[in-house]
Structure 1
Amino acid sequence: MSEDFSSWFPNQFTASLFIFVFFVWAASEVYNRRGFHRSRHIPGLQRSDRWSYWAILLAVWSSVLVSLLLRSFHVGIFHNSLQYAGLGVEMLGIALREWAVISLGSLFTVVVSIIPGQRLVRHGPYRWLRHPAYTGSMLTFVGFALALGAWAAGLVIFFVCLSAFLYRIRVEEAVLLKVFGKEYLEYMQHTWRLFLGYKYHELYQLRLITCVFVLGRHMLMVMVRRGEARTPPGMILACALQASRARIPRLCEAAVWYRLCYIFHINLEMPV
């Protein structure tokens, strides 16, 4: 815990680049908030947020805290040039989010709102993704963890952010369908929610998600063998590992996998 911050990175240049990217990220979010505060004074603005803003805010601070905490306790870390890849992912996420915000212009808000006379945005990244700002945020937080050299944090952050953004998307798309009706429904048929991809058969989705969880569990087992589970955060992850090894009845196990498959189907795929 008392080690120098720069020792988390392969060299001083990487540490300096990480700090620079972080401040660029912070400055971009301050700029985005200024635009949001201007939009709050628009007459007739209607909010339908249903606490999704607070869910995302919790995911944001949790992501930063988990990254710093696991890296500080040396839980699930790596220390090599792959941290440059993490910085690349982080910068890609920042750029994608800013592209989305610029494309929205005065329509951008941090809470789900309807502006009188609002139009459906189809240019910029919205030609392919319905929620590119959320995709950019997820890439930014995962990249932030990987840039620190904390793969375990990146894995945790992915699922934490995914859960928060899925709830936000459910709230947002319900409002957009109510406002735009068939126009938005037609738009949904030609775009993806969060990530570009293609339709999978449910069996293949199940196998893909199973592989992700098996890989995560394998990494946790490696972490336990290295003794990293002796730290407080490591003990929590070790408990998760032990729980995953428990004998679960086949019916319950199938139900869990089906639910995971369903979550990924409705959020990562083009709708049927």
Structure 2
Amino acid sequence: MTFFYILFVFVVAQRLLEVVYARFNEKRMKEQGAVEAGADHYKWIVLLHVFFFLSLLAEVLYFGTSTARGWSLFLSIFLIAQVLRVWTLSSLGKFWNTKIIVLPGATKVSRGPYRWIPHPNYIVVAMEIAALPLIFGAWRTALFFSIANALLLLLVRIPAEEKALQELKG
């Protein structure tokens, strides 16, 4: 269980630091004239992630799983996602945010993974939501939140982001 607690605290701390970084970027971008788009759905993204972590904690504590069969495969996927996360965030730089913040007149980022994939951070999140619980045998959390995340991204978030980027082009 110690491994679970260490990894759980690491990921939660990482998310909290990302929120701080996102707020810093949001403030800086808005000072340059950026505007937020698609704000209505943001609360659902936050709730999904909060309930994901609560569900993961509850499932692992309730069933008492330390690591699952095949855990090293899922840990590898999770670690690959961490590398991709850093690459994605560093490629976006000041434009990275948990909200949809657009700066009129800015050029769409096309470096790093954005050269090949339009929304690499969402792939990273999907990898984490699936892999992290499966390291510890929390398949219910992995299944439910993978589906919920996919629906939220595909039906709401990505269309809102694409619309904002299209409006940015003019």
Q: TM-score, structure 2 length as denominator?
A: 0.82
State the Cα distance separating 1:150 from its structure 2 match. 0.8
Q: Distance in 1 between matches of 2:94 and 2:152?
A: 24
Return the letter of the residue paired with 1:44: G
Q: Distance in 1 between matches of 2:12 and 2:97?
A: 22
Gaps of 5+ in 2: none
- Of the three residues 152, 159, 170, the one matched with 1:164 is 152
Q: Distance in 2 between matches of 1:112 and 1:80?
A: 36
Does the CA-based 8 Å contact 1:59-1:164 persist in structure 2?
no
Is 1:51 aligned to residue 40 of structure 2?
Answer: yes
Is 1:107 aligned to residue 91 of structure 2?
Answer: no
State the Cα distance separating 1:179 from its structure 2 match. 2.2
What SS does the corresponding residue of 1:51 show, helix, strand or coil? Answer: helix
Q: Distance in 2 between matches of 1:33 and 1:15?
A: 27
Return the structure number with greater relative CO, CA threshold 8 A, min gap 6. 2
Q: Once superposed, which parts of structure 1, at least 4 consecutive aligned residues long, lie more than 6 Å away? A: none
The equivalent residue for 2:134 is: 146
Return the letter of the residue paired with 1:99: W
What SS does the corresponding residue of 1:33 show, helix, strand or coil? Answer: helix
Does the CA-based 8 Å contact 1:18-1:87 persist in structure 2?
no
Larger radius of gyration: 1
The equivalent residue for 1:29 is: 18
The equivalent residue for 1:190 is: none
Gaps of 5+ in 1: 1-5, 7-11, 182-272
The equivalent residue for 2:105 is: 117
State the Cα distance separating 1:41 from its structure 2 match. 4.0
The equivalent residue for 1:193 is: none
Identity %: 23
Q: 1:70 to 1:98 in 2, by over 3 A?
A: same
What SS does the corresponding residue of 1:113 show, helix, strand or coil? Answer: strand
- Of the three residues 95, 102, 116, the one matched with 1:128 is 116
Return the letter of the residue paired with 2:169: F
Q: 1:133 to 1:146 in 2, by over 3 A?
A: same
Q: Distance in 2 between matches of 1:18 and 1:50?
A: 31
Deviations 1:186-213 (A, max 9, x none): xxxxxxxxxxxxxxxxxxxxxxxxxxxx
Deviations 1:21-69 (A, max 9, x none): 5367347525633542442442322221242221211111121122222
Q: Distance in 2 between matches of 1:176 and 1:66?
A: 34
Larger helix percent: 2
Deviations 1:57-95 (A, max 9, x none): 1111121122222223329x7844522222222222222
Q: 1:48 to 1:22 in 2, by over 3 A?
A: closer
Q: TM-score, structure 1 length as denominator?
A: 0.54
Deviations 1:201-254 (A, max 9, x none): xxxxxxxxxxxxxxxxxxxxxxxxxxxxxxxxxxxxxxxxxxxxxxxxxxxxxx
Q: CA RMSD in A?
A: 2.7
Return the letter of the residue paired with 2:158: I
- Of the three residues 78, 95, 105, the one matched with 1:90 is 78
